[in-house]
Amino acid sequence: MTFLDYLSQEWVELVILGRISFLIVLYAVLAATAVSVLVGIALYTNRFTPESWSRTARKGSQDTLLVASALALTVPSLALFGLLQKWVGLGATITIAALVIYGIYPILRNVVAGLNAVDPAVLEAAKGVGMGAVRRMIRVQLPLAWPVILSGLRVATLILIAIHVVGGAFGTPGYPDLLVDGLAGYGTPGGLYAVVSAVIGCVVIALVFELVFLLVKRLTTPRGIRV
Amino acid sequence: MSEAVDSVSVDEGRGGGPRTMISLQQVSKTYPKAEAPAVRELTMDVPEGDIVMLIGPSGCGKTTTLKMMNRLIEPTGGRIVLDGDDVTDVNADELRRRIGYVIQQVGLFPHLTIAANIAVVPKMLGWDRNRTAKRVDELLHLVGMEPGQYRDRYPRQLSGGQAQRVGVARGLAADPPLMLMDEPFGAIDPITRERLQDEFAGLQQQVRKTICFVTHDLTEAVKLGDKIAVFGPGGTLEQYDTPDEVLTRPANEFVAEFVGSGAAVRRLSLLELARLELDEVVISTGGAPAGNHPVVALDDAGRPERWLSVPGTDQPPPLVTVPLTGTVYDAVDVMLDAGVPLVAVVDGDGESRGALRWQTLIGDLRAKRRRP
């Protein structure tokens, strides 16, 4: 059996697995985005420090908190999955939970960077015409920070696609499962083909996400700030 | 010389006792951790319909004062009364929607169209779509931008001058009685700035807003202001009076030094030619020179073409003109530029209304009584 034979025989199955993997990553990215935007806004607006602190100290603490959230990325994935197993069990859930943790930093960093990059003159004008803090955030700051946030989402997605296959060792369906199966039967042609298919599948998912992001960017970036 | 002559004075007020639009009463601001207050017990009334220019050296508290009026900076003491209401403790966002605000960096919302930028405040106030759209077009017209052409553009497609026109339109959108302007033309190149100032003066003729205007440019303050508030170090008000008074009678040493040695020249830009007793000009009928007056020849359209004779000169100088709407400053500028001792003053149709001579300028400059 050649690889092409394998593909023609298994392609329906591969597409189904791909859909599962795609959704796992998608849910994780969405959840990480929600968390990051909320935490990012909080970090940007009050920096989790008292207002009486000096500007430098508050900026410093903002950076420190960002670095702290980066530490999550340095936890070895196997270790993190192992720890999570205690609380969330096996299957798709554990992978989604782990991916959310890994996804937060790249998105959060861009949320804060995007908000910091909003022109202070625009903010002053917004205040000056009588926009309250919430309206300012929703109508002005988030739309202007959005392109930067979106590029954080793209980076996060690529990282998460790469990491999600680790879930195979913890019973996650989709390409993770296919990969682990393939590795178990590595000596056989079928095992090798499964591994290669899983890898190609991940690349395809990444491409699909890129297309989705292209579309989302096109549709959600206000015309006035499109480059 | 049949008209009554009075001394050259520029501001005669606007007749009647104008209402006070905004009143600062003993207002102070001390920043946290600062030892001295940035603004110290400032009391100042801004009459309705006037442009008040806040001026002073950097760090004198003029911008702080302006920003306390719409409470972008919260005062640490005193009261602020807007149009009879004490607004020191009202909701700041709602207060700001009642006050136009224009800043030096313009701060247009880059993700919104020009129309949406102007419509920001009306939208917050809940105006309906039609009313808002009509108002936007009206304002674009007012600031000299064709609505059909600019309505749907984005801020990045505008030049600096156009952006600030839109900034002014945004400030005027909900027709606020009071406008605060923080060096609105400060970041614009000198040529465009002068044009914007002229347009702004014309605009104010139409809208008659009460305007507080921060500037560091004395020429601008003299040109646009009905009153000038000179701030000194430590946030104190050193003098608050008409431009003419500030220039001719500085209240103290500080103001005198701030106004500086150029005061006499600056005053020239306060004197409008239309308000001066101009030198009489004789229009040539082909006859002999007429006594002590310059004689001018007209072209076919009835406009001055050249001097035939000018008393005190053997060879008549080339003829230069200045519009009646200009100021003495413009006339002097033209005279120096052309190297001539007199300039013909023409009206909108280009017809002669008289002349201004160098001797008159340094000698006996007289203003007509302002026409009612």
Greater confidence (A186 vs B25) lies with B25
Q: Looking at residue B233, what is its pLDDT? A: 87
Chain A partners within 8 Å of B155 (Cβ): 224
Task: Tell me the shortest Cα–Cα distance from B275 to chain A, in angstroms.
Answer: 39
Where exactly are the structural domains of chain A?
3-225
Answer positive or negative: Cα dihedral of B20, B25, B30, B35.
positive
Q: Looking at residue B92, what is its pLDDT? A: 94
Task: Tell me the shortest Cα–Cα distance from A146 to chain B, in angstroms.
Answer: 11
Query: Percent of chain B scored above 70 by pLDDT?
Result: 91
Please tell me which residue of chain A has the smallest CA distance to B107: A122
- Cα-to-chain-centroid distance, residue B119: 26
Instruction: Tell me the C-alpha distance between B231 and B225, whole Å.
Output: 15
Task: Tell me the shortest Cα–Cα distance from A122 to chain B, in angstroms.
Answer: 4
Chain B partners within 8 Å of A144 (Cβ): 110-111
Taking an 8 Å cut-off on Cβ atoms, the answer to whether B112 and A222 are in contact is yes
- State both tokens at B356: 């201004």
Please tell me which residue of chain B has the smallest CA distance to A227: B156
- Interior CA angle at B45 toward B41 and B51, to 5°? 120
Q: Which of A55, A62, A72, A58 is nearest to A39 (CA)?
A: A62
Among A56-65, A111-120, B77-86, which stretch is predicted with the lowest mean pLDDT? Answer: A56-65
Taking an 8 Å cut-off on Cβ atoms, the answer to whether B154 and A121 are in contact is no
The DSSP letter of residue A137 is I
The arithmetic mean of pLDDT across residues B250-270, rounded, is 82
Regarding whether B199 and B88 lie in a shared domain, the answer is yes
Residue B4 domain-assigned (yes or no): no
Pick B103's closest partner by Cβ from A124, A130, A225. A124
Please tell me which residue of chain A has the smallest CA distance to B118: A129
**Mapping DSSP to helix (H, G, I), strand (E, B) and coil, where does residue A66 land?**
helix
Instruction: Name the residue with tokens 């035939």.
Output: B308
Residue B203 domain-assigned (yes or no): yes
A75-108 pLDDT tens trace = 888 889 989 988 988 889 999 999 999 999 999 9
Q: pLDDT tier at B33 (50, 70, 90 boundaries)?
A: confident
Domain of residue B78, residue span? 20-98+177-268
Q: pLDDT tier at B1 (50, 70, 90 boundaries)?
A: very low
Pick A121's closest partner by Cβ from B94, B96, B103. B103
Taking an 8 Å cut-off on Cβ atoms, the answer to whether B107 and A124 are in contact is yes
- Cα-to-chain-centroid distance, residue B122: 27
Regarding whether B338 and B202 lie in a shared domain, the answer is no
Greater confidence (A169 vs A146) lies with A146
For B146-173, b/e burial (b = at least 16 CB within 10 A) is ebeebbebbbeebeebbbbbbbbbbbbb
Query: Percent of chain A scored above 70 by pLDDT?
Result: 98
Q: Which of B314, B300, B316 is nearest to B355 (CA)?
A: B316
Greater confidence (A201 vs B15) lies with A201
Strand B227-232 and strand B85-86: the pairing is unpaired
Taking an 8 Å cut-off on Cβ atoms, the answer to whether B107 and A125 are in contact is yes
Residue B288 domain-assigned (yes or no): yes
Task: Tell me the shortest Cα–Cα distance from A118 to chain B, in angstroms.
Answer: 10
Residue B157 domain-assigned (yes or no): no
User: For testing the chain A interface, which of B111, B114, B182, B212 should be mutated: the one with the most A CBs within 10 Å?
Assistant: B111
Q: Looking at residue B289, what is its pLDDT? A: 57
Please tell me which residue of chain B has the smallest CA distance to A143: B111
User: For testing the chain B interface, which of A124, A129, A138, A141 should be mutated: the one with the most B CBs within 10 Å?
Assistant: A129
**Domains in chain B, number:** 2
**ipTM of the complex as predicted:** 0.85
Q: pLDDT tier at B372 (50, 70, 90 boundaries)?
A: very low
Q: pLDDT tier at B6 (50, 70, 90 boundaries)?
A: very low
Q: Looking at residue B17, what is its pLDDT? A: 64
Taking an 8 Å cut-off on Cβ atoms, the answer to whether A122 and B108 are in contact is yes
Among B103-107, B154-158, B243-247, B258-262, which stretch is predicted with the lowest mean pLDDT? Answer: B258-262
The answer, for A128 touching chain B at a CB cutoff of 8 Å, is: yes
Regarding whether B88 and B195 lie in a shared domain, the answer is yes
The answer, for A136 touching chain B at a CB cutoff of 8 Å, is: no
Contact B29, B188 (CB under 8 A): no
Please tell me which residue of chain A has the smallest CA distance to B109: A122
Is the per-residue pLDDT at B106 higher than 50?
yes
A9-29 pLDDT tens trace = 989 999 999 999 999 999 999
Residue B219 domain-assigned (yes or no): yes
Strand B295-298 and strand B304-309: the pairing is antiparallel
Residue B65's CATH number: 3.40.50.300
A150-172 pLDDT tens trace = 999 999 999 999 999 999 888 89
The DSSP letter of residue B156 is G
Q: Looking at residue B7, what is its pLDDT? A: 39
Which regions of B227-334 does DSSP assign to beta strands (E)? 227-232, 236-241, 282-283, 295-298, 304-309, 321-323
- State both tokens at A173: 């369906």
Chain A partners within 8 Å of B112 (Cβ): 222, 224
Q: Looking at residue B261, what is its pLDDT? A: 67
- Look up the pTM and report it: 0.79
Instruction: Tell me the C-alpha distance between B343 and A73, whole Å.
Output: 79
Pick A129's closest partner by Cβ from B106, B110, B120. B120
Taking an 8 Å cut-off on Cβ atoms, the answer to whether A224 and B107 are in contact is no
Sheet holding B85-86: strands in order across?
B39-47, B20-29, B77-82, B85-86
Task: Tell me the shortest Cα–Cα distance from A226 to chain B, in angstroms.
Answer: 9
Taking an 8 Å cut-off on Cβ atoms, the answer to whether B105 and A119 are in contact is yes
Regarding whether B189 and B74 lie in a shared domain, the answer is yes
Is the per-residue pLDDT at A185 higher than 80?
yes
Mean of all residue pLDDT scores within chain B: 87
The arithmetic mean of pLDDT across residues B294-315, rounded, is 84
Chain B partners within 8 Å of A123 (Cβ): 107
Please tell me which residue of chain B has the smallest CA distance to A221: B111
Q: Which of B337, B299, B295, B298 is nearest to B320 (CA)?
A: B337
Taking an 8 Å cut-off on Cβ atoms, the answer to whether A119 and B121 are in contact is no
Residue B141 domain-assigned (yes or no): no
Regarding whether B316 and B220 lie in a shared domain, the answer is no
Please tell me which residue of chain B has the smallest CA distance to A142: B111
Q: Which of B232, B250, B268 is the last residue of a domain?
A: B268
Sheet holding B304-309: strands in order across?
B282-283, B295-298, B304-309
Regarding whether B228 and B203 lie in a shared domain, the answer is yes
Taking an 8 Å cut-off on Cβ atoms, the answer to whether B101 and A125 are in contact is yes
Is the per-residue pLDDT at B14 higher than 60?
no
The arithmetic mean of pLDDT across residues B89-115, rounded, is 95
Task: Tell me the shortest Cα–Cα distance from A152 to chain B, in angstroms.
Answer: 20
Pick A130's closest partner by Cβ from B108, B121, B180. B121
Residue B334's CATH number: 3.10.580.10
Chain A partners within 8 Å of B154 (Cβ): 223-224
The answer, for A127 touching chain B at a CB cutoff of 8 Å, is: yes
Regarding whether B199 and B52 lie in a shared domain, the answer is yes
B323-359 pLDDT tens trace = 888 888 888 988 999 888 889 998 888 888 888 888 8
Instruction: Tell me the C-alpha distance between B296 and B307, whole Å.
Output: 4
Residue B164 domain-assigned (yes or no): no
The arithmetic mean of pLDDT across residues B173-191, rounded, is 93
Task: Tell me the shortest Cα–Cα distance from B95 to chain A, in angstroms.
Answer: 7
Q: Which of A23, A33, A54 is nearest to A174 (CA)?
A: A23
Fold of A3-225: MetI-like fold (1.10.3720)
Greater confidence (A62 vs B304) lies with B304
Q: pLDDT tier at B5 (50, 70, 90 boundaries)?
A: very low
Please tell me which residue of chain A has the smallest CA distance to B172: A129
- Cα-to-chain-centroid distance, residue B12: 16
- Cα-to-chain-centroid distance, residue B124: 30
Question: Residue B295 forms beta bridges with which residues?
Answer: B282, B309
Q: Which of B253, B268, B283 is the last residue of a domain?
A: B268
Q: Kindly report each contact of residues B357-362 with a partner whose C-beta sits within 8 Å and lies 24 or more positions away, as own/partner.
A: B357/B279, B357/B294, B359/B312, B360/B279, B361/B328, B361/B331, B361/B332
Mean of all residue pLDDT scores within chain A: 90
Residue B156 domain-assigned (yes or no): no
Query: Percent of chain B scored above 90 by pLDDT?
Result: 52
Q: Which of B268, B290, B310 is the last residue of a domain?
A: B268
Chain B partners within 8 Å of A126 (Cβ): 107, 109
Pick B97's closest partner by Cβ from A52, A130, A143. A130
Sheet holding B236-241: strands in order across?
B99-103, B178-182, B210-214, B51-55, B227-232, B236-241
Q: pLDDT tier at B369 (50, 70, 90 boundaries)?
A: very low
